[in-house]
Amino acid sequence: MDLSPNVERLEGSLTIGVSTLAKRLRAEGRDIIDLSAGEPDFGTPEWVRERAIAAIRAGATRYTPTAGLPELRRTIAARLARRAQREIPWESVVVTCGAKHALFNACFTLFGPGDDVLVLVPYWTSYPQIVMLARAEPAFVRASEERGFLVTPADLDRAATGRTRGIIICSPCNPTGAVYSLDELEAVARWAKERGVWLLSDEIYGHIYYGEGGVAPGLLDLPEDALGPFVLVDGLSKCFAMTGWRMGFSHCEPELATQLTAFQSHVTSNPATPSQYAALGALEDEEHAERDVAEMVRAFRRRRDLVVELMREHLPDLEVVYPEGAFYLFFRVDEHFDDECPDSTAVCRAILERSGVAVVPGIAFGDDRYARLSFAASEEELTQGIRRMAMALRRTAKARG
């Protein structure tokens, strides 16, 4: 088929691919434990659902302005302003169909042919693809494993060229769960500012944080003078268990927000209207929100502790990155490479075939030595899943002799 060069290097999302395969195998009757999907296993809180139902009943079924309901943009801006302790104009907020869409809008609007965008390895699987869809080039920055995969300005200096126009940072990180401290984040922000490079900060896991203070350090916690041009990306998919509603947003200077809105006006128009009312409900009712988010994070923390413990017990030879945030465990599987299973894709396939446990190969995140499991699953599934995975891997080791 003769397709456009726009999609020359396009590959479908492997994270979505593995979880779709797991769902299919389960529907065929196989006993599958799905630790691949990066989505909370909780339902959206009832009081949030009710807001959408009430909005639909009241006739909120038509277009809204492209950048979202003004009251939703104002509510988001007010929250950001409280965090930043300075005024944030509501025109700086654009509501999108999920955080992925906000990232796509930003990359497509800011980058193009001849531009390099720094992508930190291991990366969330969609970053390089989104950059390439904008016809820019991802330039990979490998951070040291010993430092928990957190990059420093020296790492960035080594990767930057005269073509570098942007950098995408994700903290808490998918797939490692690593979190930049305020100082580490400030160093990256100042590096970007000094070079006039756009800083795209994906803070979708900001509230799923196991350190002090309940929220991982983000761009708005930095002194204003540390920030050059930036786009902050966030959304409700993870912290409110709203993956299916497709509710994300970006915050950036209003002039760029106008461009992002113009772009969005030709691509999707406004995000789904009932979803916007649900998001408004979630963000307006702070008391309920704090209570429910805190409860989910407590459950994720228990599961984080459980999976780290289970890995130590059942697979003590595998190195893991200790997650400070998000709900992923990134663990090395290259010990188990052999002629039959020469890479992370083959190891994960063997795990799935032998034990029915779905995990995502590290190659999806740019590091083929690793695999990722999501601990957004019940304690029972995690316990069974890791036990079964350990048995499957022991069989590979035995077959190797």
- Note the residues at the interface with ligand PMP (CB under 6 A): 38, 98-100, 124, 170, 174, 202, 204, 235, 237, 243, 248
Q: Phi-psi region for residue 361, left (φ > 0), alpha (ψ -120 to 50) or beta? A: beta
Closest CB to ligand PMP among 100 and 336?
100
Least distance CB 16 / ligand GLU (angstroms): 5
Which residues in 108-132 are b (16+ Cβ under 10 Å) and which e? bbbbeeebbbbbbbbbbbbbbbbbb
Q: Could you give the CA distance from residue 34 to residue 25 in angstroms, rounded to a whole number?
A: 10
Least distance CB 249 / ligand PMP (angstroms): 9
User: Is the distance from CB of 36 to CB of 358 less than 8 angstroms?
Assistant: yes
Closest CB to ligand PMP among 66 and 237?
237
Closest CB to ligand GLU among 96 and 261?
96
Contact positions with ligand GLU (CB under 6 A) in 22-41: 37-39
Which entry of ligand PMP, ligand GLU, none binds 125, CB below 5 to 8 A by partner kind?
ligand GLU
Q: Which two tokens stand for residue 218?
A: 């983000």
Q: At what angle do helices 99-110 and 254-267 cross, to 10 degrees?
A: 110
Which entry of ligand PMP, ligand GLU, none binds 98, CB below 5 to 8 A by partner kind?
ligand PMP
Q: Per rule CB under 6 A, is residue 152 in the interface with ligand GLU?
A: no
Which element (helix H / strand E) includes 167?
A: strand 164-170
Q: Could you give the CA distance from residue 249 to residue 395 in angstroms, rounded to a whole number?
A: 46
Contact positions with ligand GLU (CB under 6 A) in 106-135: 124-126
Which is it for the CA torsion 49, 50, 52, 53, positive or negative?
A: positive
Site track for ligand GLU across 282-301, x = CB under 6 A = --------------------
Using DSSP's 3-state secondary structure scheme, residue 212 falls into coil
Q: Which of 174, 176, 270, 345 is the binder for ligand GLU (CB under 6 A)?
A: 174
Q: Per rule CB under 6 A, is residue 96 in the interface with ligand GLU?
A: no
Closest CB to ligand GLU among 77 and 360?
360
